[in-house]
Structure 1
């Protein structure tokens, strides 16, 4: 199969997922929301009942996979299930799998800047609506789509939007505040905002450098 123009072997990704701590079974499938391109989704079964509550969140598992796989091979979502339903032949029943790309659900945009950011995300991600608390990378976003967001936001706002700011502020609410929306609702005390913003910028820069390194490796693999 091809994901974002790269050939991907689901079995290879499944082996990497199975190597994660606390994972007993794994299945990797391409899943596409209506009108959107397919994304990899990993369905996992914890190694023990108590592991389900203690297992890392999807973002943490994706971070671990990102250290072992090229960016394009890292599943966009990781869905934890109690067990896999089986067919009469003992194979995993793919028709019984839960939805891998749920619609984003959170508070609706409340201000002009939040609405602008949410509208751009919805256009790029192919979702009917985006909430202010949705994380771009948890609702179908990736580095290439973030570039599309950067271009569209810059055009809408008629100003430069640094890509590192998009990485450092991955929710609509955070990005709207960063872009200067003074009516975004209650936020932290002003005295605390500068160090928080600086820290987020540093984190965004590190993430951007890591993704660029992985993408260079991916291009090398394709050659």
Structure 2
């Protein structure tokens, strides 16, 4: 309220944002990451990304961690993710990690969030192969860009029902589904679909493909209950085995 009695609605004064309905506090992620002995400085931002399932659906968001090593090379993305997962909820884990020589600063010597936003927009789309753990990005416009790699597998959207003879066939099929829906090829079999940016629209599309490919009637909630490739392959194998054993 000003001296004239007018109330001004300025919006949120913090940096919190929502991703898939969950409110995320980037400052808490930063405070936690600064406790890692290999991290000297860090900034956390959210960047809008195109929904790969539609040209008209509103964009989703991903969390990006911009990290400066203290003295030693930073651990791998997966090692950092696992370390952070022991301290924060899964929804708060960054989906992308960018190594910097230094955080960009504004004229006041504070983190230049505008520069980070510009750098995020210029980054390659999710789905490229991750660089080496000690890859360093420059806080200007010239940051390291790993080479894109071809997505393994063929398009499964209209594929015929494949003959799943064993668990490996299921894992390969699931890998291809995830790669196409998430538009990335850096997928680990023990990491959650939602860690990679899976959201409600993609969950529905994945559910449709699973039912079409297996001929099973699957509750969509099983995707949330078995969010990794390993867990979903085990679940589908059990369901297929039970169905085939039924007279």
Question: How does the TM-score come out when normalised to structure 1?
Answer: 0.58
Shift of 1:168: 3.6
1:134 alignment counterpart? 186
The one of 77, 82, 93 aligned to 2:101: 82
Q: CA RMSD in A?
A: 3.7
Matches within 5 A, 1:6-155: 6-35=22-51, 36-48=59-71, 51-52=72-73, 55-97=74-116, 98-99=119-120, 102-103=124-125, 104=127, 105-111=148-154, 120-121=177-178, 124-125=181-182, 127=183, 130=184, 133-135=185-187, 141-142=196-197, 147-148=203-204, 150-155=206-211
Residue-by-residue CA offset, 1:87-141 (whole Å, 9 max, x unaligned): 111111223333376322322445465996688546744x4xx4xx431769962
Check the 8 A contact 1:58/1:78 in 2, yes or no.
yes
Residue-by-residue CA offset, 1:53-75 (whole Å, 9 max, x unaligned): xx211111011111101111122
2:131 alignment counterpart? none
Shift of 1:81: 0.9
Q: How many residues are matched?
A: 165
The verdict on how the C-alpha distance between 1:78 and 1:8 changes in structure 2, with shifts beyond 3 A counting, is: same
Shift of 1:11: 0.8
Check the 8 A contact 2:152/2:176 in 1, yes or no.
no
The secondary structure found in structure 2 opposite 1:154 is helix
Check the 8 A contact 1:23/1:46 in 2, yes or no.
yes
The verdict on how the C-alpha distance between 1:99 and 1:156 changes in structure 2, with shifts beyond 3 A counting, is: farther
Check the 8 A contact 2:106/2:112 in 1, yes or no.
yes
The verdict on how the C-alpha distance between 1:138 and 1:6 changes in structure 2, with shifts beyond 3 A counting, is: closer
Check the 8 A contact 1:42/1:75 in 2, yes or no.
yes
1:4 alignment counterpart? 20
| Cα separation, 2, equivalents of 1:66 and 1:110 | 30
Moved more, 36-45 or 133-142: 133-142
Bigger helix fraction: 1
The secondary structure found in structure 1 opposite 2:84 is helix
Moved more, 24-33 or 100-109: 100-109
Kindly name which structure, 1 or 2, has the bigger radius of gyration based on alpha carbons.
Answer: 2
